[in-house]
Amino acid sequence: MPKETMTSKERVAAAIRLEKPDRVPVAPLLPPEPIAHLAGMTQGQVAADGMNTVEGFKKIFDEYGGWDVAYGGPITPDQLQAIGMYPMKMRIPGKDTDDDDIFQLLEEEVMKPEDYETICDIGVEKFYKEDLLYRISDMTPKDVEKAIENLMLTGVLYLEALNARNINSLFFVYDNHPFFTLSLMRSLIPFTEDLYYNPDIVEKAIQRMADDLIVKNLQPAIDSKSMGINAWLFIEERASAFHYPPEIFERFWWPYTKKIVETFWAEGIVTIFHLDTCWDKNLKYFKELPRGSAVVGLDSTTDIFLAKEILKDHLCIYGDVSATMLATAKTEDVEVYCKKLIDEVGKDGGFILGSGCAVPPDCKPENFRIMLETVKGYELNK
């Protein structure tokens, strides 16, 4: 077993800086759903109360020997809806479905074409909080206020749990890309039609949303540096070449992404990209970002070895033990793949090993354990 000469916090910081730490850091994306499974709770329990997720996290971290940085957090479906991270109709376990079902999102056209103008006029935050939220849910303003209060309370307790275990959260501030938010609110097919048939108003809305996103998130991200966190999470699941050709990406996504990342980087804040779907054909664009300004998080559908080839010594890469592997593979196959990631993606530094997207809610406990133990016990091939 390699001798550890860094703390978890030092190890993660070194990887993000594109340095070669004492070993590759490991950071599974662990939202409430897999926590429920691994901690022996139902999905209804973590959907009803974020404190159950906090307690589940502590149990899992201690039982499995821990990891280097926390990715995910104790947030319930109604809280995700209240703050606009999932601006869609929901089905919540224990309320709308069976107690051990995973919460579900309904892809429906709720936002209408005329709402683009409203977003341009008043901003997406005001539009969502005063209008769209009540189209997609039966929450009252008091329900929303209570959900946010509970989120803040559990967030504080979660950070205390991390501090007691000598690790940081990978981020404190998080948001969806404006492109992704509009796609969720409009739903995929109508939004795609808008991109082709009404592109000017879509672009105008994205411009307004990008500017507002910076105003909303930059100062809290700067403030989080006092907690030792100098990164924020930026989520996109629908802008890659899996869905759209380069002309769409280049007009509606990349210029605003570049502006946002560069604005945060000017304040010493690293952008953690959460990029679902296949980004193979988009990876080259990320070379335009300042060196060290971002972590490119991949979900296992993007070729992570290609990403390393393209982004080597430019941006840190995160990933990518797939949900399928964690849920269905033999333990020895997980170990072999983790070693391959360490040897090929982590050999020169600038790599954090984690799950491809989130750890699945049906993860085999032995596969979760071997992912952590392999990283901590495997000596990188020289």
Residue 263: exposure state from Cβ atoms within 10 A (0-12, 13-18, ≥19)? middle
Question: How would CATH label the architecture of 8-43+63-73+168-377?
Answer: Alpha-Beta Barrel (3.20)
CA 59 to each of CA 36, 47, 56, 68: distance values in angstroms, whole numbers, following the listed order: 11, 18, 5, 16
Per-residue pLDDT tens over the stretch 147-174: 999 999 999 999 999 999 999 999 999 9
Domain boundaries, the chain: 8-43+63-73+168-377
Residue 348: exposure state from Cβ atoms within 10 A (0-12, 13-18, ≥19)? middle
Positions in the chain whose pLDDT score sits under 50: 381-382
3-state secondary structure of 12: helix
Per-residue pLDDT tens over the stretch 44-93: 999 999 999 999 999 999 999 999 999 999 999 999 999 999 999 999 99
Question: CA 14: distance to chain centroid?
Answer: 20
Six token digits for residue 270? 């690293």
Query: pTM of the entire structure?
Result: 0.96
300 within 8 A of 28, measured Cβ to Cβ: no
| Bridge-based pairing state of the strands 89-91 and 104-106 | antiparallel
Residue 1: per-residue pLDDT: 57
